[in-house]
């Protein structure tokens, strides 16, 4: 299988620290690839190395099937928003975009205006960027990443500083560009939003890729559970074991999480009532992307399984 971006044991060392440690990921054409990890996990370093802003210490990668000395030409098909978008403050957004157009050899003078409208800045065409809010600068950064209609767009925390309506508009813009054939790699700490658009994920922790999953695989891995708060936790544990439940954990605050047979909430309440244990609260819950990531890196679910 050919990939738009493929890395092989990519490693980046700063001093004694491995910011990336043997990372191998696979991004196919048309993917919205969600790069998941806490601050300092290695997401931004990965993006910088694969876009040519930093050199790898070891390992290799290919873009559009090209590697080695052929990479330079491939990078012309990449759009970037990594950290600060690097705006010129004393000119307006259209002019900032036109400078990027000229650098890429584009001659369509209507392109900057179209991009401004696409990212929701159509009403500030003549306003200097030094007067922009943080969210407006992020929008213009997105527009700059889309100049020239690149085949691959790499976005590092693209919805920072956005209100809910702004987040929604960015999500719709990304999905629109995907429908036109654009591939995205996106990092975001707002994992609930990432889960609404991504079809593939790479989970990074301490510089290492700890899992790569499609959205379908991730859904199957995310645990659904019954959350039970009984009046007597030890007695309730004995009761649920006696009626056939095997996978459960006792959490803080007198809460029991039950991971198997989640359609049997009625059986649980009936069994508890027969033994004079009150059910204070019982409900079904579904593990979010945030929950899955926390458990994956070892910060959740530390209590021993009973």
Tell whether 11 is covered by a domain.
yes
Instruction: Please report the pLDDT score of residue 305 as a whole number.
Output: 33
**Residue 204 shares a structural domain with residue 276:** no
Tell whether 73 is covered by a domain.
yes
Domain endpoint, select from 153, 183, 214:
214
Instruction: Please report the pLDDT score of residue 300 as a whole number.
Output: 40
Instruction: Specify whether the CB–CB gap between 62 and 38 falls below 8 A.
Output: no
State the total domains in the chain. Answer: 2
Give the whole-angstrom CA distance, residue 201 versus residue 191.
11
Q: Which residue has the higher pLDDT, 217 or 153?
A: 153
What are the tens digits of pLDDT across the range 245-284? 999 999 999 999 998 899 999 999 999 999 999 999 999 9
**Residue 183 shares a structural domain with residue 46:** yes
**Residue 163 shares a structural domain with residue 194:** yes
Tell whether 127 is covered by a domain.
yes
Whether the per-residue pLDDT at 302 is higher than 90: the answer is no
What are the tens digits of pLDDT across the range 29-83? 999 999 998 888 999 999 999 998 999 999 999 999 888 877 877 777 899 999 8
Tell whether 148 is covered by a domain.
yes
What are the tens digits of pLDDT across the range 229-247? 999 999 999 999 999 999 9
Nearest Cα residue to 11 out of 161, 208, 153, 149: 208
**Residue 244 shares a structural domain with residue 276:** yes
Domain endpoint, select from 166, 187, 214:
214
Tell whether 85 is covered by a domain.
yes
Instruction: Specify whether the CB–CB gap between 36 and 194 falls below 8 A.
Output: yes
**Residue 44 shares a structural domain with residue 166:** yes
Where in the sequence is the domain holding 188, given as residue range(s)? 5-214
Give the whole-angstrom CA distance, residue 238 versus residue 235.
5
Instruction: Please report the pLDDT score of residue 1 as a whole number.
Output: 60
The CATH number covering residue 260 comes to 3.30.70.120
Tell whether 293 is covered by a domain.
no
**Residue 56 shares a structural domain with residue 80:** yes
In percent, the amount of the chain with pLDDT more than 70 equals 97
- Contacts for 181 with CB less than 8 Å, ≥ 6 apart: 29, 30, 151
Domain endpoint, select from 214, 237, 267:
214
Phi-psi domain of 244 (left: phi exceeds 0; alpha: psi -120 through 50; beta: other): left
The CATH number covering residue 51 comes to 3.40.50.300
**Residue 245 shares a structural domain with residue 154:** no
**Residue 129 shares a structural domain with residue 276:** no
Tell whether 302 is covered by a domain.
no
What are the tens digits of pLDDT across the range 163-177? 888 889 899 999 999
Cα Rg of the chain (Å, integer): 24
What are the tens digits of pLDDT across the range 129-146? 999 998 899 999 999 999
């Amino acid at each position: 299988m050919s990939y738009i971006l493929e890395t092989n044991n990519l490693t980046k060392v700063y001093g004694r620290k491995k910011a990336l440690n043997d990372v191998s990921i696979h991004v196919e054409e048309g993917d919205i690839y969600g790069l998941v990890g806490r601050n300092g996990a290695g997401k931004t370093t990965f993006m910088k190395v694969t876009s040519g802003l930093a050199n790898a210490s070891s390992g290799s990668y290919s873009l559009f099937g090209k590697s080695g000395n052929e990479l330079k030409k491939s990078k012309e098909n990449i759009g970037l928003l990594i950290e600060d978008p690097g705006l010129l403050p004393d000119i307006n957004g259209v002019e900032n975009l036109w400078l990027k157009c000229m650098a890429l050899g584009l001659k369509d003078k209507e392109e900057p205006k179209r991009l401004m409208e696409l990212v929701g800045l159509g009403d500030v065409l003549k306003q200097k960027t030094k007067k922009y809010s943080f969210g407006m600068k992020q929008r213009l950064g997105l527009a700059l990443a889309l100049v020239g209609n690149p085949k691959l767009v790499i976005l590092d925390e693209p919805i920072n500083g956005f209100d809910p309506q702004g987040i929604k508009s960015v999500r719709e813009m990304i999905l629109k560009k995907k429908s036109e054939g654009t591939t995205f790699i996106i990092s975001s700490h707002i994992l609930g939003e990432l889960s609404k658009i991504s079809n593939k994920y790479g989970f990074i922790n301490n510089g290492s890729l700890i899992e790569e999953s499609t959205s379908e695989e991730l859904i199957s891995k995310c645990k659904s559970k019954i959350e039970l708060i009984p009046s007597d936790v030890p007695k309730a544990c004995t009761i649920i074991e006696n009626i056939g439940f095997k996978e459960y954990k006792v959490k803080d605050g007198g809460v029991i999480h039950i991971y198997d047979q989640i359609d049997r909430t009625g059986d649980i309440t009936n069994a508890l009532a027969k033994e004079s244990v009150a059910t204070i609260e019982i409900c079904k819950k579904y593990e979010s992307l945030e929950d899955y990531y926390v458990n994956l890196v070892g910060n959740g679910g530390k209590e021993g399984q009973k």
